[in-house]
Structure formats: structure tokens, C-alpha cells
Chains A and B, each alone.
Chain A
Amino acid sequence: MIWIFAVVMGIGVAAGVYLALSRDLFRMVVGLSVIGAALNLLVFASGRLDSAAPPIVVAGTQILTNAANPLPQALVLTAIVIGFALLCFSLVLVVRLMRAADSDDAHRLRAAEPPHDAGLKPPLEEV
């Protein structure tokens, strides 16, 4: 079981990172969401996959026995929801950015760090 999770997670992260490294802003955001989903698998599997039984205390008993680890599940649950919020917000941001720059090219977003030959930085002193 852990092998399936590890390999799938690795492929998911690799694909997500490659998308995130793209110059295309939109692919960048999609890469972010793919990375997020794959990393949820990492956190989940870190809690071990010894049992496939849901972590629910059997009626009539007081203590959880022979069930999946509830702790990573709680963490991942939070992560899914937060990741969703992040994805929605990133999408808004990127669409706004694309409209503002009239481009989907990350290399054109240079307002904060203009190219050195753009004449916006102080020129190197020629002594």
C-alpha cells in the first residue's frame, strides 16, 4: 500500500512542479493545485497505512482499536479545504494579472524587478 502511495505521490508532485515551473501563469496555478493534492497523499501516508478501517469508534466501546490513524486524516482534511481556498484565490489573482499585463507570460510581470537595460535602475557607475 505504501509503495502505491509513494509512487503516485512522486509522479503527482513531479508533474505539479513541472507545471508550476512553466512561464505560463495559468499552468503555474494548476501546477500549484496538483502539488497540493499530491502532498496531501504524502501527509496522509506518513501516518502509516496499517489498517483500512475508518477511524470510528465502534458503538458500545470507548476506545478506537484496529483502525486507520486519525491524526493525519484531520490534518489532511484541513489541508484540502485550505488548498481549495488557495486555488480559488490564485485563480482570481492570475486572471486579474493576465488582464492587467495583457499577457499570460510570467516574464512580462516585471514591474517590481525591471530588466537591467530598461533604464529604471541607476546605471552602473563608470569610473
Chain B
Amino acid sequence: MSADFDPAAAGVGRLLAYAALPLAMFLALATALASIPLPWILHWSWVPSLGVDLAFHVDGLAAQMLLLICGVGSLVFIYAAGYLAGTPRAERVPVLLSLFLLAMIGAVTADNLLLLFVFWEMTSVLSFLLVGFSHEQEASRKSAQQALLVTGGGGLFLLAGFLLLGDMAGTLSLRELIAMAPRLVDEPLLPLALSLVFVGAFTKSAQFPFHFWLPNAMAAPTPVSAYLHSATMVKLGIYLLARLDPAFGQLLFWDLVLIAAGSITALWGALHALRERDLKRILAWSTVSSLGTLTMLVGLPGATAPLAVAALLFSHALYKATLFFVVGNLDHGAGTRSIDHLSGMRRYMPWTAAAAALAAMSMAGLPLSMGFVAKEVIAGAKVEADLLAVVGYAAVIVGAVSVAVAATAAVHVFWGRDTCPRDADPHEAQWTMLLPPLALAALGLLFGIMPATVDPLLAEAARAMAPELGGLMVESAYDGGPVLGALALSLVFGGFVYAFWDRLHAALERMSWIDSFGPAAWYQRKLQALGQISAWHTQRLQHGLLDRYLLVLIATVTAAALLALSFAAERWLWPATQGINPPLLAAGAIVVAGALAALWVRDRFVLLLASGLVGYGCAALFLFAGAPDLAFTQFAVETVFVVVAAAVLPEIRGGATLAHALPIQRRVEPLKLLVSIAFGCALTLYLLLAAGQPLDPALSEFFGARSVPAAHGHNVVNVIIVDFRALDTLGEIAVLAFALLAAAPLFKLARQRRRETP
């Protein structure tokens, strides 16, 4: 990408114009937050019969998310303008990002569960489109598909959970649900509903075991990764859990699941961060780790935990987005993201190095950074919650790894020995790619030095998660002592991990069993199984064998018909048996004889004669049942058919001359015979039972009464055919004509044949 990068020819200005939307929204939001007190409520009735309303509610938590969405969003748009300039189809990204921005705003402000779900899935779809931006690369397509299947599929679980919750609470409004949650505690289905919500939130926020899509989503352009897969979208699951925490935080089930899933995710992400060499993937895994910590914090009981969630949510967005920007600059300026080839880059990229240093400080939790504030509050929350020892150890490891990752991203890459080959020509990025990371990093510094500036925002967000919280301030949440000790511990450990990064990496790299055991491998196997199942059943059902298609069809129809009949078994009414009618019996015997003979004979001409016998038998039946017109027609048809059959006789008797003729065999096929008999029996049953029911004679009586006065015809059947239903008869004649036209080539063919073989 960097090779053909040409800012003069690229539409930086044009791409930059898209940043006007988030910027305007950010300014409006900031102004509104300063002047209008929270909460803001908007409500329109949309589908009242389903309880779906366009209801929006902005409280402290939503306001914090909105600031991140619009604030980080503005910088991402600016950064994307520089990053993507000169790339084919570059304009897609800001367009999709704008849609994503709106979807995110909808998702974090929606007060209706179904409305929230709609926005939630919109973000999944947009994430799919953005991850698959470089769709000409297979890896990109697969990552996009994976992200969509995992988060979109999780969204469906979420919908099921929402519907269950809404059904229990009798309302789809999020606020009403939270207000009445204490009354739902004894509902037997509540654990199921919450589990479904967990699946939705965990897939979205990349929690174990659904985390694997996030590192793969790094196939997206870097500004997209910074925005969707670090600062905003992946926080949506955390947001939902934090939103529901005041409702269900009292449940042991809720706390245990969140703490367990969060801790495992944090640890798993930290472990995998050490296995990577690609800086962007390292950051992705550390994002997974941070998301795990956030989930765990939501699950923690205690008054400080909500504040810790708000603080980490905020500081993580600031430093992680900055680091992603830094990686994008490295990718552009040095043409690589591998930490093996990046060292001492500060000589070439001083501004990027400064931003990286500030962000890394925050990530490591060094004093005078926003990360320090967050770490302090988190440590306070953990002390207060009286955690299990295991969770505590996990937190130490996670903290150490995040220190090491920060050190790698800043110290190793920028301050290490300059090993860059001369011909690589590393260079600093242009201003659109420097302003965003520097601005975010500077904000992190500002909030770190003066926590009071961000305090009202965090306190307001925390109060949304724990309404009983008073005017708690960030500064009062920590008191030095043990907290500083924990920080020192993680710094020391982090230093060790950084120092031995390569050796740890080599050791972890050898643990290849993780790849075949983890959920990612499970996903891979399931995806493959899907294809195999389709292939298997296509081979079974779509086999292309005509007789078996027909067999399945007729067997299904027979089963359905008999089933339907059996439902009404108590209302079966058999028709009365009248005296024996010898002529009818004889005619029926002809039909049966013809049918059985047709089954028996093998010679094709005799087979035709047997089927003719069936026709003649039917004609006789018609004759004795008061239908002479039918009888004469059938006789005529059968006779004419003999002429047709005679015309094709040489062809049909020539079966033996075909190269691939079927061998003549008399073996009965039992399954086909069974299905045939069942079908015949079903029809017999239908006719008999129908005859037992009353008949509506209205139409017959109409024809009987109107034939002479209206059409001056005494033969009612003829009158119906040529008069009342004349148009149908015209169609019938047309069908005959078409059949003749289609059959004509055959006669021609037959004549040619005869001439050739005298």
C-alpha cells in the first residue's frame, strides 16, 4: 500500500469531508451535555401492537459511550482520510463508517429491547462490510465471514433472550425492565434468558469462547480496527451488561458468570498476545484481554466497580485507539507491522513515537496518565470486592502482559536499536495521520494529570450502573497504599515479560496444541462440517435419479393423505353397498386385467396393448354408468392411439438395439410396489369416504335446468362442452394441436428410418 501511496493524487480532502458528520455531532453533543441535564428522553410510538417504540434514553453511561463514538469517531474519520487516500474504493470506508456511527448511536441510546437489537445487528453487518473491505484477499473474506457469523449469530441469541425477558416483564422498555427486575428473580426462565443475553454480549465483546473473531477482524483497514474493534463496537456487549447490571447484579449467577468469563478472557487474551509477532494482532489480543477485564469488573459487586468500568472503558478507548493509529503509521511509513523488523523508528517517525509513548504510558498505568487513574480505581474495586485468590493472580498476569505489550509498542519499536535496512526508506506520516493519535494521547495525559476534568463524566456513568451511588468522585476512590503496591508489582512483572518477550514467545509458539484445541479450531471444524453436511444431503436427495425423485414425492403425498384421513377417523362414513351390477363388474374386470397385464408383460408392444385394455375397460365402465359420450370418446382415443403406436412401433420395439439398454428382469422392487399400493389404497379410501358425504348439486342442477332454455341442446354434457365452457374447449383443441405439432417430427423420423432400412 505504501508503495503506490501518493498524497498529491489521492482524494484526502474529499475523504476528509466525511469527518464533518462526526465532528458536528461531537460538538452538538458536547454543547448539549454542558447545558441540558441528563437524562434525555425521546419517545415515539412505532409499532404499538408489538410494544416496539422508537424510545431513546440518554443517561450517564450512554453519554459516555456517545462521547467515545463521536469523539474517537471524528479522529478516526480524519485518520482514515490520510490512511486510505489513493486506495481503490476508498470512499466506501467513510460511507460505511458514517452508517456505523449512526447505528452505534442508536444502539447505546435505544430504550427499547427490539430497537436495541436492530441497531446491534446493524453494527454487526457494517463490521462485516468493513472487515471485508479488501475483498480481493481470501483471508479478508474469511475474517469478515467469521466476524459476521459469530457476532450476527450471537445477536440472534440476544434477540431470543430479549424476547424472553420482555415476555417475563411484560414490557420491552429497558428502563421499565430494570425497574421491575427484582420481581423477576424467581422466574424459572430467568437463567435461560440471561444466558441467551450473555451469548449475545460475549460474542459482540469477544469474550471467551467467542473471542477468536476479533484478532482475525484485523484484516480490516487500521482506522476501522481502531474504531470498531477497539474503541466502540466491541464495547457494545460490555455496555449492555453494564446497563443490565443494576437489574441483575444481585444475582449470584450473574456475578459468577461475568467474573469467570471475564477473567478467563483476560488471561487467554494476554497469553495469545505473547504468541504474535504482528503488532496489530498483539494489540487485538490485548484488546480481548482488556474486554475480559471490563466484563469481570461489571460482574464485581461493590460500589467502586461501576466507576472502574467507566474509567477503564474511557481510558482503554483513548490509549488503544492511539496505538492502533500508531500501528497504521508504521504500516504506512515502514511498510511492516512485524516487531521483528521494527526497531528504533523514532528517528524516522518522531511524532508517531511521541504518541506511542504517551499511549503506552497510559496502557501500562504509569502515573500522570489516564490509565493510571483507571488502574487505581480498578485496584480499589478489587480490594473492595474481596476477590478469590485465583482471580487476583490472573489479574497480576494480565497486568504484566499489558505492561509488556505497551513496552513493546513504544520502547522496542521506537527506542530500540535501529535495525531498519537503508532501502526501506521509513518516513513520518502526513498530518491527518498524526493529529488523531497525538490528540488522543494528549487527552490521556490531560485526564491523567487532572482527573477532576473527567470526573463528572465518569461519576455520572457510574451512577447509571449503580443508582444508589452518591456523588462519588474518582479521587476518593483510591487512597494510595496497597494500590501503588499492586501497580509496582505489575510493572516489575511486566518488565520481566518484556525482557524475556522473545523467549516467552518461542515457548508459547511451541504450544501448538492451543490451535487445535481452542474455540477457533472448533469454529473451523463446524464451518467445514456445514459444507460436508450440505454435500452429503445433496448427494442423497439431489441424486438426479428420476425414479427415486418420483418415489420420494409419491411416498410423501401418500403419507400426508393417509395422515390427514386418520385424523378424521371417527367421522368415517362408508357408502352403502348396492346389488351386484354384472355389466359393471365385467367392465371393471377388464380394467384390472389390463392393469395387471401391464405389470407383467415385458414386450413393449404388448405393454401398449395392455394399457389399451385399461382404456377400453374404462370406456365400458362409463358406458354402463350413464356416460355414453365418455365411452365413445375413450373408444375413439384408444383406437387412434393404436395408429400412433403403429407409427412408432419400429422405434419402441428396437430396445435391444440400444447401446445401453436396460437388462430385462422380472425382479419385483418391493419398496416401489409398497408405495404404489399405498397410493392406490389412499385414493380408493378417499373416493369411498367422499361418496359417503353429501354432494353440493348446485352447479349440476344449473346446467340441467339451463341447457334447453338457454342453449337449445338436449345433451347436457355436449352443451357444457361447446357452450357453457366453450373457451375451455378452445384451449383443449389448442393443446391437441400443439401435441400434434410436437409429435410431427417423430412421424417424419419414423418414415426416414423405414426408408433407410428397407
A residues engaging B (CB < 8 A)? 1-24, 26-28, 30, 33-34, 37-38, 40-42, 44-49, 51-59, 61-65, 67-71, 73-74, 76-78, 80-89, 91-93, 95-96, 98-99, 101-110, 112-116, 124-125, 127
Contacts and interface: CB of A to CB of B under 8 A. Distances in A.
B675 A4 contact: no
Interface stretch (B8-16, B213-221, B242-250, B681-689): B681-689
Interface string B491-519: 00000000000000000000000000000
A15 B684 contact: no
B139 interface: no
Interface of A is mostly: helix
B637 A8 contact: no
Contacts of A98: 651, 655, 658
Given A2-B687, A18-B599, A53-B626, A26 B535 contact: no
A45 B581 contact: no
B720 A10 contact: no
Given A55-B717, A57-B708, A71 B599 contact: no
Nearest to B628: A54
B618 A37 contact: yes
- By Cβ-Cβ distance, the 9 closest A-B pairs, closest first, are A113-B544, A14-B680, A64-B704, A10-B684, A68-B626, A103-B660, A85-B739, A15-B595, A18-B676
Interface of B: 524, 527-528, 531-532, 535, 538-539, 542-547, 550-551, 554, 575, 577-578, 581, 584-585, 588, 591-592, 594-596, 598-599, 604, 607-608, 611, 614-615, 617-618, 621-622, 624-630, 633-634, 637, 640-641, 644-645, 648, 651-652, 655, 658-662, 669, 672-673, 675-677, 679-681, 683-684, 687-688, 690-691, 695, 697, 699-700, 703-705, 707-709, 714-717, 720-721, 725, 728-729, 732, 735-736, 738-740, 742-743, 745-746, 749
Nearest to B688: A6
A112 B524 CA distance: 33
B625 A56 contact: no
B43 to A, nearest CB: 49
Contacts of B633: 77, 80-81
A1 B624 CA distance: 10
Given A2-B688, A85-B735, A73 B659 contact: no
16 contacts: A6-B691, A7-B588, A12-B591, A14-B676, A18-B599, A45-B691, A48-B695, A54-B715, A63-B705, A73-B630, A80-B633, A80-B637, A82-B735, A95-B652, A103-B660, A107-B546
Contacts of A88: 641, 644, 739-740, 743
Contacts of B720: 70-71, 74
Nearest to A95: B651
A17 B673 CA distance: 9
Nearest to B663: A105
Contact of A48 (B539, B594, B607, B691): B691
A62 B599 contact: no
Contact of B546 (A19, A48, A106): A106
Contacts of B551: 21
B595 A104 contact: no
Contacts of A54: 626-629, 715
B676 A11 contact: no
Given A21-B547, A21-B672, A55-B626, A78 B717 contact: no
Contacts of A14: 595, 676-677, 679-681
Contacts of B675: 17, 21
B612 to A, nearest CB: 9
A57 to B, nearest CB: 4
Contacts of B697: 69
Contacts of B641: 84, 87-88
A55 B720 CA distance: 11
B700 A71 contact: yes
A115 B539 CA distance: 8
